[in-house]
Structure 1
Amino acid sequence: MTIWILFAVMTGAAVLAVLLPLSRRVSAEEASSAVGERLFYEDQLKEIERDRARGLISDAEMRAAKAEAARRLIRATADEPKPTDTVDEPALRRRRAASAIALSSVPLLALAVYGAYGSPHLPAQPIAARLQQTIDPATIGVAEAVARIEAHLADNPEDGRGWDVLGPVYMRQGRFEDAANAYLNALRLLGEEPTRLANLGEALVNADAGVVKERARLAFARAVELDANQPKALFYLARAAEQEGNLAQAKAQYEDIVRRSPPGAAWLPIVNERIAALGGVPIAPTIDPQAGAAIAALPEEDRLAAIGGMVERLEARLMENGGTAEEWVRLLRSYSVLGQRERGAQALAQARAALAEDAAGLASLNAAATELGLEN
């Protein structure tokens, strides 16, 4: 109830501040005095001109005297009541009635609008109480979710999980310094983990306007130490080489990322875009996504045998059923990796026959063949 009394007092004060001047009545004596002062200074100006005409004052004295009289005339004119200020008693009563109506109608109108569009039936709910409620992702907004997590972390700064959750949210909001700080806290509390280190590096890169500086490079290098196939870390390390002008090294690193990646990986388009920007030909990965991890763990001799078996199965499928240009290019690259140049040349001839009616596919195939040296 106290809050409503306070709102009523504030509204009344605001309305009175605007309407009170309207209720003031200027007396006839005040009006007459103001008019008389104006006439006095007008006569004074004329008198100064007459004195100059009689030679009683110089031009300089005349200008100074007229300037002073003119200033006083302007001030007197500004203070002179307007015709509407000197109202009679009936007009004054009408003004006061209008003021009273406005004083009562403005608060009533505000209450009516609030009743129609507000929620006066809901109980008061302080922010602290709202933050303590269970978060329902279907109904809560991002800003409120972040506020709740931040409030939780303010009371529980050692909650590494909370910092790990907050980092990606800050990234989506463009708060890159805050995201980097969140990832640093998560790493401190939860320990080093390749993806977390790569995310820290990415936040630092974004905070530095896309430049891979030393702090970010160290995070990416550590991520690769823990996981040699961490794609985000590998990409930004290649990006660092590109920014430093080591374009051949950057291109080789980008191509290595593609070869390590499973087909359909989300990062492949942007990596191939960088390869194309550096004058290379976009390539397709050569490792089956489901077998890649198992093959990587095998000894060298067994790994090559496993890759050979995969390549043979891919070749058999393409010979029997045909395939896309991307699949034929993958086969060519596989033979190149295995050092089987002759089989690569044979596969190239078969691919050209299979793609004879696909101009775009042939162009992609021929570009890959040139890159792999199969045209010589």
Structure 2
Amino acid sequence: MIWIVFSLMAAATFLVIAFTATGGGRAVLSRRDSASAIFADQIREVERDQERGVITAEEGRAAKAEIERRLQAIERQAEADPAARRSGRALVLAVAFAVPAFAAGLYWQLGSPNIPSQPFAERAAEQAEAREIADLAERLKMRLLSEPDGGATEGWALLGQTYMRMGRYEDAAEAFARLQERPDVTSALVSQYGEALVYAEDGIVTPKAGRVFDRALELDPANPAATFYQALAMEQAGAPDAAYDLLKARIEAEDEFRPWMESFAAQLNRIAAAAGRPRVDLAEFAPAMPGPTADQVAAAEEMSDEDRQAFIRSMVERLATRMQETPGDLDGWMRLGNAYSVLGETENARDAYGRAQKLAETLPQTDPRKATIDRALSELGG
């Protein structure tokens, strides 16, 4: 239907232009006719001036001769005008046809006609929410600046994180910078400052950002974010093998699964493809989800379909119970959402992935878990 509407609009536009270019079916006064009327009036004016004695007979004859010369010049030009007008009209008609045809072809190649449009009300709500968040951030900043002690550390940290979510990376870096000399600054706040500097430079780890991450590791050698960006700096400096080794060593230093390992593994495999190093399987370092024991697997193989389904459901219920006790476990919610999807419990799966999505809001856009969650929710219709 939308293509029919667009076609009719293009056809209507073409017809209007064509109708205008061809004269619109109305008699139009030519330049020659209008010039003849003007020059005739000028000749009569010369004759009246001559009768009143304003000019002499000789001056009158000279003025009439000049007027007649101008009229003859216009008549000669008018003889050549029809071809020029036809050529101009043909060009207008050609352009009127070619422009919509070219636009349609370009949209067919590059456009996305199958993507549903976003309702205006939804866009307006998002814009209103964005304005409200920006207003709240500005009010928070003014309040922090007005406080005699320079504002609470938690307040500046919240402001910096809000600016990061808004994509205002330079403002975020400025907020985090105010905390760097405070005695209560943590390694996490230092690395967040470095991350804001990297985002402000379109993903480049500058020497300044590198020094910030070095300090974050001095405060906490186990800070995974600082290690991640140190490896990124190595890769950008032309040392992908060093970056690969640093990331892999950091994963191997853990004895159980950590949420940040997936980001490390994704980065490792990206570097591996370019540097010719072996890919890594995260399961080799730590299990992503506590699974059944070998005895449980053996017992499940001997179960009936109903018993096996009940066994799987009991494991999922135990995981769901554990998630109520640890609601901040992003990866746990992702695993629970996947388990519910396998069981066909769409509503529960959407709820679990929805909780994971809220926890993932503060993650950088490069974190692969964000894409995994969005894809899962899309498949679930959420």
Q: TM-score if structure 2 supplies the norm length?
A: 0.41
Question: Which has the larger Rg?
Answer: 1
Q: TM-score if structure 1 supplies the norm length?
A: 0.42
